[in-house]
Amino acid sequence: MKFKGTQDEFRQLFEGEAKRKKDEVNSTRNKFAPLRKSWQRFLSSDSFDWCLFGTLTAQGGLTSKQINKHVDKWFEIVCKRFEATRYQQQPLDDGDLTIFWVAEANTKNITHTIADRFHVHILIQCKPHIFNDVYDGDKYRGFNVFDVAWQFTQGRKPFIYKTCPDSGVIYKHELNKFRVQIVPLQPSDKRKDTSELKSNRIKYCAKYVAKDMIQYGFLKPSQVQRSYFDNEKDCWISSENYEYKLCK
């Protein structure tokens, strides 16, 4: 319907609607402020030493019913791969790897609905050998365990092996992947050492814990239910033999 009125009337109507929206946003922020600050203090406490921050995305986003299933299966694959490749087939313990995750809606609604789609943010606390699987100095390893496991969780292979026709060298050819971004929370150059990035990422995660319809949690190796693989609980197999299926 076309608005009929003077420019001043239109401007007043626009400013009034803008103020109403701003007041609504501020009211929602104030409502969740105590919870957000509480989580921020908790995640910033000496109980944790976060070293990586990440974002996991899926095609079209995850539904509210998919989030936990996808995150749990992803973490199970992560643990299985590290156990097979880094620990000489020995289980991880909670001191090796702890992850905090929180879902963020793809839309910027003040309150979310069951129809919204989500992506996931993660804070990672881990031992150096796990960190080095993601970063070689300042260089990001594109086929790190966290990234590859997420691609498989979404039912997509992150790469295939190809052979160079000239040299015969076998190499990994990257396929179209879902976006996975993982950044270090402390710079490798100690001259630029700052806690600002770490603090900001923790605040970011705490902000989304304090939202309607948001899911979050901690992931620890001791909590993994090893039901995804058909093998015996103590039978460790190489990652090349895993069979991955789309997690719906």
- Model confidence over 4-39: pLDDT tens digits? 556 665 555 555 554 554 444 444 456 667 888 898
Q: Is residue 240 part of a domain?
A: no
Q: Is residue 217 part of a domain?
A: yes
Cβ contact 163:169 at 8 Å = yes
- Measured CA to CA, the distance from residue 190 to residue 178 in angstroms comes to 32
Q: Is residue 29 part of a domain?
A: yes
Report the SS3 class of residue 101.
strand
Q: Is residue 111 part of a domain?
A: yes
- Quick one: pLDDT at residue 59? 80
- The crossing angle, in degrees rounded to 10, of helices 7-43 and 196-209 is 110
Q: Is residue 4 part of a domain?
A: no
Half-sphere exposure of 109 (CA within 13 A, CB side): 15
Count up the domains in the chain and report the number.
1
Helices marked H in the chain = 7-43, 67-85, 128-134, 145-153, 196-209
- Quick one: pLDDT at residue 145? 92
- Quick one: pLDDT at residue 31? 63
| Residues 237, 78, 171, 54, Cα dihedral to 10° | 180
Residue 216 burial by Cβ neighbours in a 10 Å radius (0-12, 13-18, 19+):
buried
Comparing CA positions, the residue from 69, 68, 92 lying closest to residue 80 is 92
> pLDDT (tens digit, 0 to 9) for every residue of the chain, 248 residues total?
444 556 665 555 555 554 554 444 444 456 667 888 898 999 999 999 999 999 999 888 888 888 998 999 999 989 988 887 754 556 788 899 999 999 998 876 655 666 788 899 999 999 999 999 999 988 898 889 999 889 888 876 666 677 888 888 876 666 667 789 999 997 655 545 556 788 899 999 998 887 766 789 999 998 886 554 444 443 333 334 333 344 44
Can you give the residue range of the structural domain that contains 47? 17-159+173-230
Which residues are CB-contacts of 84 (< 8 A; sequence separation ≥ 6)? 236, 237, 238, 239
Beta strand 135-136 with 216-219 is unpaired
Q: Is 61 left (phi over 0), alpha (psi -120 to 50) or beta?
A: left
Q: Is residue 153 part of a domain?
A: yes
- Quick one: pLDDT at residue 186? 77
- Measured CA to CA, the distance from residue 142 to residue 146 in angstroms comes to 10
Q: Is residue 166 part of a domain?
A: no
- Measured CA to CA, the distance from residue 131 to residue 115 in angstroms comes to 36
- Quick one: pLDDT at residue 176? 63
- Quick one: pLDDT at residue 248? 42
Is the Cα dihedral 40, 200, 49, 145 positive or negative? Answer: positive
Cα 30 to the center of its chain, rounded Å: 26
Comparing CA positions, the residue from 21, 43, 82 lying closest to residue 239 is 82
Q: Is residue 75 part of a domain?
A: yes
Q: What share of the chain is helix, strand, coil (3-state, %, to 5)?
A: 40, 20, 45
